[in-house]
Amino acid sequence: MSHVYFDHNATTALDSRVLKAMLPFLTTQQGNATSRHAYGRFARDAIETAREQVANAVGAYPSQVVFTASGTEANNFAITGMAAKQPNTQIAISAIEHPCVTRPAEMMQSRGWKLAKMGVNHQCELDFAQLENALRVPTSLVSVMLANNETGAIQNIAGVAELARKNGAYVHTDAVQAFGKIDVNFEALNVHAMTISSHKIHGPQGVGALILDKRVDIAPFMLGGGQEKGLRSGTENVAAIVGFGIACELAIEKLHEHALHTQSLRQQLENGLQALNATIFSHHATRLPNTSFFAFPNIEGETLVMALDKKGFAVASGSACSSDSTEPSHVLLAMGIAPDLARGAIRVSFDASNTVEQVSAFLTILKQELKRLQQMVAMAA
């Protein structure tokens, strides 16, 4: 049985061209980028080339790129580092953030900062009235994600930034899911800081970046040897950074072509889902082209994921990043979706390698499995 991978929002396969660029740094080029000798200089040059590639892909300057060990780390760095310089004020985040934004914001709350969580509407779009309301209190930082990892809903970050800046707050956006799927431009978004991650764009796992306006007063995340301008000490993971740089180049090269392809697969999928009476979340929002999040009443998402896995399809349920939990997705609850329906949520996320045939086969299997599970539910009732 061949397996079909429909979980590209969770992670993506390493591109062979990325691996090729990384290999020398995992084998013969063992230099530490802080060393003065030829090996060290070679590693340093490779890191600076990658910094340019990352910067070019997001409309930033190389000097604005701070490499981190993951998107999670970049988010933690942004939240704790930017807030730390303005004690005893407020951090405002949306209710649909990834836990790697929410948890550090809650940690700061336990240390004395106020925390505002702004809601979203039924389509997963930020409630701007709640943002305006939150900004009536002195606020050090506003953090709203560019695209949601579950629904794919895209937020008006330039609009968030305008309001936040008017009120003297720093603005951060988690662009981990958006980057590589839609155009992401640091300057146009007008934020002070933006997070991206390599493994969502066919780069290696375990490397990310915080794109940072140099004028921002931010506390370092790691103290030590002073790498990354003293903001993130620790010997650089040269191979991963090199891979991230190449992945960035490749991601933007065919971005529009890939977006059109995944969007047409999603249309095919959602036509089939509608025929099966699925509820499609954020159906009317501006969404990432590759993402579809849906549910069937009375069928647990986890159960359907396992059934589809047995038939050779890898998809995600509710909160994919914590799929050991059976709690309904906090994103769907924030959208006002009933918990029972939210527990049924399934996410399909495509990439350029997926095909029309795979989607057709998926719909056939889905129909069969749904029928089987619905019969089981009816018998148990």
SS (H, E, C) the chain: CCCEECECCCCCCCCHHHHHHHHHHHCCCCCCCCCCCHHHHHHHHHHHHHHHHHHHHHCCCHHHEEEECCHHHHHHHHHHHHHHCCCCCEEEEECCCCHHHHHHHHHHHHCCCEEEEECECCCCCECHHHHHHHCCCCEEEEECCCECCCCCEECCHHHHHHHHHHCCCEEEEECCCCECCECCCHHHHCCCEEEEEHHHHCCCCCCEEEEECCCCCCCCCECCCCCHHHCECCCCCHHHHHHHHHHHHHHHHCHHHHHHHHHHHHHHHHHHHHHCCCEECCCCCCECCCEEEEECCCCCHHHHHHHHHHCCEECEECCHHHCCCCCCCHHHHHCCCCHHHHCCCEEEECCCCCCHHHHHHHHHHHHHHHHHHHHHHHHHC
- Rounded CA gap, 124 and 128, in Å? 12
Query: Which of 152, 208, 289, 318 touches ligand PLP by CB under 6 A?
Result: 208
Query: Which of 8, 44, 98, 181 touches ligand PLP by CB under 6 A?
Result: 98
* Count of residues near ligand PLP by CB under 6 A: 15
Question: Judged by CB, which is closer to ligand PLP: 44, or 172?
Answer: 172
Q: Should residue 72 be labelled a site residue for ligand PLP when binding is judged by CB under 6 A?
A: yes
Q: Should residue 93 be labelled a site residue for ligand PLP when binding is judged by CB under 6 A?
A: no
Q: How far is the CB of 257 from ligand PLP (least distance, A)?
A: 23
Question: Judged by CB, which is closer to ligand PLP: 177, or 358?
Answer: 177
Q: How far is the CB of 138 from ligand PLP (least distance, A)?
A: 27
Residues with catalytic function: 321
Q: Should residue 354 be labelled a site residue for ligand PLP when binding is judged by CB under 6 A?
A: no
Q: Where are the alpha helices (DSSP H) in 115-210?
A: 128-134, 157-166, 186-189
Give the pair of three-digit tokens for residue 18: 């990325």
Residue 74 DSSP class: H
Q: Should residue 197 be labelled a site residue for ligand PLP when binding is judged by CB under 6 A?
A: yes
Q: How far is the CB of 145 from ligand PLP (least distance, A)?
A: 6
Q: Should residue 145 be labelled a site residue for ligand PLP when binding is judged by CB under 6 A?
A: yes
> Which stretch in 69-77, 88-96, 135-143, 263-271 sits in contact with ligand PLP by CB under 6 A?
69-77
Q: How far is the CB of 380 from ligand PLP (least distance, A)?
A: 34
Q: How far is the CB of 198 from ligand PLP (least distance, A)?
A: 7
Burial class (CB in 10 A: 0-12, 13-18, 19+), 108: buried
Question: Judged by CB, which is closer to ligand PLP: 100, or 341?
Answer: 100
Q: Should residue 176 be labelled a site residue for ligand PLP when binding is judged by CB under 6 A?
A: yes
Q: Which residue is nearest to ligand PLP (CB)?
A: 71
Query: Which of 90, 143, 149, 279 touches ligand PLP by CB under 6 A?
Result: 149
> Which stretch in 41-49, 86-94, 172-180, 325-333 sits in contact with ligand PLP by CB under 6 A?
172-180
Q: Should residue 174 be labelled a site residue for ligand PLP when binding is judged by CB under 6 A?
A: yes
Query: Which of 70, 90, 279, 358 touches ligand PLP by CB under 6 A?
Result: 70
Q: Could you say which residues in the range 302-341 bind ligand PLP, by CB under 6 A? A: 321
Query: Which of 65, 78, 100, 105 touches ligand PLP by CB under 6 A?
Result: 100
Q: How far is the CB of 98 from ligand PLP (least distance, A)?
A: 4
Q: How far is the CB of 71 from ligand PLP (least distance, A)?
A: 3
Are 116 and 91 a contacting pair, CB within 8 Å? yes
- Pattern of binders to ligand PLP over 224-253, x per CB under 6 A? ------------------------------
Beta strand spans in 253-315 (E):
279-280, 291-295, 313-314
Positions that interact with ligand PLP (CB under 6 A): 70-72, 75, 98, 100, 145, 149, 174, 176-177, 197, 199, 208, 321
